[in-house]
Amino acid sequence: MGSCVFSLAVIMSEAKSIETVSLSHRTGKSSLQVSLFGATVTSWKIFKTEMLFLSKKASLDGSRAIRGGIPLVFPQFGPGKLKQHGFARTQLWEHVSTDHDLASGDVHAVFKLTSNDATRAEWPHDFELTYAVTLGMTNLITQLTCVNTGETDFDFTALLHTYFHVEDIAKATVSGLGKVAYLDNTDEKKQKMQVSPVLTFEGEVDRIFLRDVKDESTGTARMRYDDLISIGDGGNADVVVKAVNFKDLVVWNPGASKSASMPDMEEEGYKRFVCVEVGSVAKPVSLKPKASWSAGQNLTLRILQSGTEEARRVYGRESVPGVDNLPILDRIVGIKKKDPAADNKADPK
């Protein structure tokens, strides 16, 4: 097959001249869009179904950080000396390359941000950030690398602020964090323990889960979370998050009233996303001159089947919800019980 099947395109956003890089898997079954503003992934589709949330009121013209998708947080998570979540998400990045894996059909793109006068005005260090994304048919890998190109050490925190689309926050679950310590951002950052292995959402949730924290109650084992965290919304498919080299994990949903107070959040937007954010935020990363640091995430769509270990872990019982209740699967493969013919017609393009 010729290279045109990859349908790589660089298109201009309508609002202003912020470029968006569009990638398509060779099979046509998945696609990705990355705005050069912040190298923010703004769309990840599998079988034409959007996996990420992007607020209808998000600014895509470079006037503010993009509300949704996968904004990059660097060199500061949260509030602090720099502006909230640092400057990487509001800088213009360079699109370095796009490559296609001929065997698998996966698409790999690389973006770069180098220290410049604007970043030095906020943070007096020289660095090179590389953001590499690999789009598979049912998975997405995003990896951030930082090289200290200056003469002195520096510290930073970093995070991939992924907004996962869910059908309804009332049915959303984040699994795999049972017995993990967290700092509660809604309660003066007090350290607490996640008791239930399945986190659900009633009101605001803003928690920094910590990987390397000793269990003070027993004084022995380290509390650690299962490397695989999954996000479901009541159907029989979920998205599995595998963190690579990131130490912490933030789970955030603003709840109704905070959501309403955010100028770039669509009406009742909090109902349609959960942020699950791999990051190294509790303790800064230190980088010596010429040294390099790298961390990332692998997001994979998973279809859950009754009787499997995953189904037990996610739903706490043998059977997963029946075919009348397949919100994610409906969105992904278009299975509709009332219209079985749709299965046969399902054209993933």
- Which stretches of the chain bind ligand BG6, using CB under 6 A? 65, 78, 84-85, 161, 185, 206, 250, 252, 277
Name the residue nearer to ligand BG6 (CB basis): 99 or 267. Answer: 267
Closest-CA residue to 324 (of 312, 338, 341, 345): 338
CB of 190 to ligand BG6, least distance (A): 15
Closest-CA residue to 152 (of 126, 117, 129, 120): 126
Helices and strands counted in the chain (H then E): 5, 24
Burial of 323 (0-12, 13-18, 19+ CB in 10 A): exposed
Distance (Å, rounded) from C-alpha 138 to C-alpha 25?
A: 10
Distance (Å, rounded) from C-alpha 328 to C-alpha 215?
A: 36
CB of 112 to ligand BG6, least distance (A): 23
Ramachandran class of 110: left when φ > 0, alpha when ψ lies in -120 to 50, beta otherwise: beta
Name the residue nearer to ligand BG6 (CB basis): 78 or 178. Answer: 78
CB of 161 to ligand BG6, least distance (A): 6
Name the residue nearer to ligand BG6 (CB basis): 258 or 312. Answer: 258
Name the residue nearer to ligand BG6 (CB basis): 132 or 250. Answer: 250
What are residue 322's DSSP bridge partners? none
Main-chain dihedrals φ then ψ at residue 71, nearest 5 degrees = -70, 150
Distance (Å, rounded) from C-alpha 43 to C-alpha 18?
A: 15
Distance (Å, rounded) from C-alpha 225 to C-alpha 115?
A: 35
CB of 85 to ligand BG6, least distance (A): 5
How far does Cα 298 stand from its chain's mean position? Answer: 9
- Which structure tokens are listed for 291? 């040294």
Name the residue nearer to ligand BG6 (CB basis): 82 or 335. Answer: 82
Give the DSSP H/E element, type plus range, for residue 333: helix 327-333
Ramachandran class of 61: left when φ > 0, alpha when ψ lies in -120 to 50, beta otherwise: alpha
Q: What's the order of all strands across the beta sheet hosting 30-35?
A: 9-12, 19-24, 30-35, 40-46, 49-50
CA angle 14, 19, 23 (to 5 degrees): 105
CB of 71 to ligand BG6, least distance (A): 7
Name the residue nearer to ligand BG6 (CB basis): 199 or 332. Answer: 199
Residues 6+ apart with CB under 8 A from 347: none
The catalytic residue positions are: 161, 277
Name the residue nearer to ligand BG6 (CB basis): 18 or 328. Answer: 18
